[in-house]
A and B are shown apart, each in its own frame.
Chain A
Amino acid sequence: MKMNFLKLNSRSGLNPNTLAIPILLFVFLTFGAKNFASFENLTNLSGQIAALVIVSLGQMVVAISAGLDLSVGSVISLTTCIIATGGPLVLTLPLSMLLGAAVGFVNGWGVAVLGIHPIVMTLSTMTFVQGATYVWQTFPGGKVPAGLSAVAVGNFLGVPFPLIWIVICVALVAILLNKTRFGPHLFAVGNNTASARLNGVATYRVAVSAYVICSLLAVVAGVYLTARIASGDPNIGVSFGLDSITAIALGGTQLSGGIGGPASTVLGALSLGLISNGMNLIGVSPFLQSAAKGLLLIIAICAQRRKTVGL
């Protein structure tokens, strides 16, 4: 209702706050921190947030279906370890995609078909996959195929590569939500699963697909990160589960389901990235940064209006 001036439907999650936060941060940092508005720093920023944007898009798809996926971090870690074995990408890429899809399928099956709470289900897969990652590799290291780093660092016709990753993923998810039948079905399931089923939506299939898409996007983020740091790290994904939830919450996606969109997710991830980047430039201790992020998460969540109390 109050969103009419943006010509976007109210289920996109966009609201004045989600737009104002990144704009205010941008203005504040341009004047407050030296070097912020430099080309190098902005390129750097896009490199820093690309993985977060990609994971958050997946998290958003699951959140629209009224779920939550804590296992994305472990999937990212597993992917970096598989790619960093140094095997040919023709083999390692499909393998990590396959494993990612399997994790997503198990999550979706447990949540949608068996009716296990998403937190419990994804917590168990998160633990299991993290253990499996340690079987593969316990310490950071490994060898990354030579060509891979080229597509994560540097420019293509003047456009930073991370930005290209972001644009492709956002476009794919936007098409999925707006131009296919899956999109409306997903929102229907998230708003009211029972009535969606009565109206002929294949609710199980939609919910399972949402988790599979989320895990696949986590795999993509894992590939990007491997290329960027040029090695595998079994612990690199740990913070992503929570960061992605923070990002979508900042963007206005409702965790109770049915509300969210790619634009709001990008804005949320951008806000989070700007806050980290800004705190680095101003010189806040990295440990207090995580505490500040936690505080921010609480504020963003409590600012959302919702009826249910509890989970």
Chain B
Amino acid sequence: MKMMRAWIPSLSLASLKQPLQAAFLLPPAYYGTAVLLILASMFRPMLMSEAYFWVILRQAAPLGLVVLGQALVVRVRSIDLSVGGIVIGVNYIATSAYLSGFPDSVIIIACLALGILAGVVNGTLITRFRGSAVIVTMAMTIIFIGVVVAFSRYTPPGDVPELVRTIGSGRLHGIPIAALIWACAAIPLGLIMRQTVFGRYLDAAGANPTAAALSGIPYLKTMLITHIISGFCAALGGLLLAGFVGTGSTDTGIGQDLILNSIAAVILGGVTFGGGRGRVLGPVAGAFMLTFLLNFLTSFGFEASGKLMMQGGIIAMAAMVDALKNK
């Protein structure tokens, strides 16, 4: 509250006040990444090579795609916890025998259609029936996991189609295709948010839904569209993940991790429920930072317990920084 206002001037000279305040308002992912890179160059220089940079970028791409959708949804005061279920569903469709006779492109289209369909169902339940987004989308994940496990009975499905494997783990002139797809989704999305009417609607619906509705802005439709985009992004991220792993898996843990990490990256990216400063670059930096952090911790021999505690702590820290900013 008042604490922060009093704190900044007392710490700095008058001339330093403006830039410090501006830096304080940046998404936490920016300085988080900077700190991480400095720490890595001091303690783990091998993480700083160019080859490793591409590896991390490829690893971050599935999460990064999911985060793009999640950030949009969070901006209009909703949340999408179904991304985990969609990723698991896509993984199963891409690798099970049901579609193995079809060309690879048909399988990819089926996967993306699944994501869009889930987004439409989520959006409709949330905007038409006014169901709580937390519960509707979390229930969607449970349904996906239940159906996939019931069909597969924990026996791993087959291999990933060749085309999916290529986009998940292939390289073009040394640059991972997954990272290129991530960029191809992020850049247009950033332009749409900055330049189009839809972008204005997003800001208005997030800032004050009641005012947006009274001004005749179709904010329910805007929310529905963000959920559809989020479903699509999750399906695309799921395809990249399946292509990277190479074979189908029934490990439902990947989906759960993605839910948690996507929210963490959104918060790190400076996006808050209803707005925030990080548009697209913030969440992208958040996804990169989180992936780099997990690699960094692994290189120090952290196990699942330590990583989970670290993740929980970082989400809480980012949320606290954010809350203090808004006060």
Contact = CB atoms under 8 A, between A and B. Distances in A.
A115 B133 contact: no
Nearest to A241: B138
Given A68-B134, A127-B312, A309 B319 contact: no
Nearest to A292: B146
B307 interface: yes
Given A124-B315, A309-B220, A285 B150 contact: yes
Contacts of A131: 304-312
B228 interface: no
B131 interface: yes
Interface in B302-327: 303-313, 315-316, 319-320, 322-324, 326-327
A115 B323 contact: yes
Nearest to A238: B256
A1 interface: no
Contacts of B324: 114
Given A124-B312, A124-B319, A311 B131 contact: no
Contacts of B310: 131
Contact of B125 (A115, A117, A302): A302
Interface stretch (B8-16, B23-31, B75-83, B195-203): B75-83
A242 interface: yes
B143 A291 contact: yes
Contact of A127 (B147, B149, B311, B320): B311
B263 A120 contact: yes
Contacts of B220: 309
A50 B116 CA distance: 40
B181 to A, nearest CB: 28
Given A302-B125, A310-B76, A311-B273, A134 B308 contact: yes
Interface in A189-207: none
A43 interface: no
A15 interface: no
A127 B260 contact: yes
A127 B145 CA distance: 20
A110 B78 CA distance: 20
A121 B317 CA distance: 10
Contacts of B126: 309-310
Interface string A281-311: 0000101111111110110011011111111
Interface in A150-171: none
Interface string B122-151: 000111011111111011111101110110
A172 B133 CA distance: 32
B323 A132 contact: no
Contact of B209 (A110, A291, A310): A310
Contact of B315 (A120, A134, A289, A302): A120
Nearest to B267: A120
Given A121-B316, A285-B150, A132 B309 contact: yes
Contacts of B273: 117, 311
A49 B138 CA distance: 22
B319 A110 contact: yes
B319 A120 contact: yes
A283 B277 CA distance: 52
A23 interface: no
A291 B141 CA distance: 9
B305 A134 contact: yes
B139 to A, nearest CB: 4
Contacts of A68: 134
A130 B308 contact: yes
Contact of A301 (B135, B145, B153): B135
Given A131-B307, A311-B77, A294 B130 contact: no
Interface string B255-282: 0000010010001000001000000000
A125 B134 contact: no
B79 A119 contact: yes
Contacts of B306: 131, 135
B223 interface: yes
Given A123-B315, A249-B135, A311-B132, A128 B150 contact: no
Contacts of A110: 316, 319-320, 323
Given A110-B320, A128-B312, A131-B307, A302 B146 contact: no
A8 B244 CA distance: 58
A125 B312 contact: yes
Contacts of B142: 242, 290-291, 293-294, 297
Contact of B146 (A127, A249, A289): A289
